[in-house]
Amino acid sequence: MNQIALKVIPALLVGCTVILKPSEQTPLSALLFANLIHEAGFPKGVFQLVNGYGSNHVGEWLASHTDIDMISFTGSKRGGREVTLAAASTLKRASLEMGGKGANIIFDDIIEDGDMDEFKSAIENGVWNVMSNSGQTCNAPTRMLIPEEYWDFALKVAKEEVESIQVGSAHIEGDDHIGPVVSEAQYNRIQEYIQSGIDEGATLLVGGLGKPPISDYDDLHQLQQHYQTGYYVRPTIFTDCKPNMKIWKEEIFGPVLCLTKYTSEEEAITLANDSKYGLTNYVHTYDNERQLRLARKLESGMIEFNSVSLSGSAPFGGVKLSGNSREGGVWGLEDFCIVKSVSGLA
C-alpha cells in the first residue's frame, strides 16, 4: 500500500490518469486501494486497476504500449531491466525504484569516556532494522561495518539482539517477533543465500538454514497452528563476510545480516560503496566534518545519520542498480511531470 500511494497519489495530483498493475503475488492491497478510489468519487477512467503477470504479459504490454507516456516501477533489478527494455520501444520514460544493499557504518567516536551505551544501541537498532518485516525491506542496512577494535563486543551484542527476536504468526501479540516471508519462492531463495554464505566461508554467528526450532517458542499452541504452512526464516547473522561473497553483493530480501570489520574511514567508505546498489546507507558518528565527508562520498540516493529518519517530504530513491526514481515530496510530484518551455506570451 505504501508503494501504491507513493506512485498513484502524486500522479493523480499533477493531473495524470493512472493504470495500476500490482504484483501478481500481492494484489490484495491494490484491490483495496481501487475500492477506496471508487468510494472517494473519482471520475471513471481516471484510475484503472489491471491485474496480471509481468514478463510476456500485462506488465510488458503496458510498458510498451504507445498510449502510455510513462512507467513508474518498484521491484527487482530483473524486473526493472525488463520494464526498461519494453519501454524503450516507444522511448517513454521508465522511473525505477529497485533493490538495495545498504551499509551501516558504526564509528567509535560515539563512545564517550568508555560509555558503550550509544555504540551498543547503534548495533541493536541496526540488527532490528534488518530483521523487521522479516527482512523484506529494500532499504534495510544489511551490511554492518564495525571498527576492528570493537569487533568482539559488536558480535556479542548483535548475537544477543537476534536471539531475543522470535519468529511467529502475526496472531501473536507483542512486538518482539517477526512473521513469515511472503511466499514459498522467497523462502527458498533466502535458504539458497544462507547456504551460499556457508559454502563461501562466511562465519555463521546465529541462525542458519531451515525454520526456527519449535522449542524456541513460548506459545506453542499459537505457533503450531501456523508453523507447518508458514514460510518462517531464522534470523541470521554472518560474520567475516568478504566483498566477493554472494551474500555481501546481492540483495537477499530476508532476515540476513552481514558483518565485517574495518580499520579506517577510507576502508569503511570503500566497503560501503563496493555494491552495485545505492539506495540507503547508514552512518553513526558525531563528528560533523566526518558526516559531511561521508554525505558526499557515499554512493547512495539517501544517507541516514545516527538513526534520524528522513523527513516525510524528503525524496526516496537511489542510484546505480537501485534505480533512478525519486518518490515523496516535491520530487515525487515532478517525477510525473514534463518540463515545458514557453516564450512570447502576452
* Residue 138 a catalytic site member: yes
Residue 2 and residue 320: Cα distance in Å, rounded? 23
Phi first, then psi: what are they for 214, rounded to 5°?
A: -65, -25
Q: Residue 334, class by beta-carbon neighbours within 10 Å (0-12 exposed, 13-18 middle, 19+ buried)?
A: middle
Spell out the alpha helix ranges (H) of 251-308. Answer: 265-273, 288-297
Q: How far apart are CA 130 and CA 102, in angstroms?
A: 10
Q: What is the CA radius of gyration of the chain?
A: 22
Active-site entry in 97, 161, 251, 327: 97
Amino acid at 261: K
C-alpha distance across the termini of the chain, in Å: 45
Question: Could you say which of 16, 39, 60, 138 is catalytic?
Answer: 138
C-alpha distances (whole Å) from 83 to each of 9, 49, 122, 161, 323 are: 21, 18, 38, 39, 12
Q: Which residues contact 287 (CB under 8 A, 6 or more apart)?
A: 107, 109
Short-list 338, 339, 317, CA closest to 326: 317
Rounded CA-CA distance 230/245 in Å is: 29
Residues 129, 134, 139, 141, Cα dihedral to 10°: 40
What does the alpha-carbon distance between residue 151 and residue 247 come to, in Å, rounded to a whole number?
A: 20
**Residue 251: what residue type?**
E
Q: What are phi and psi of 196, to 5 degrees?
A: -65, -35
Give the residue among 130, 128, 137 at the shortest CA–CA distance from 164: 128
- 216-to-157, 178, 238 alpha-carbon distances in Å: 19, 13, 20
Q: Active-site residue numbers?
A: 97, 138
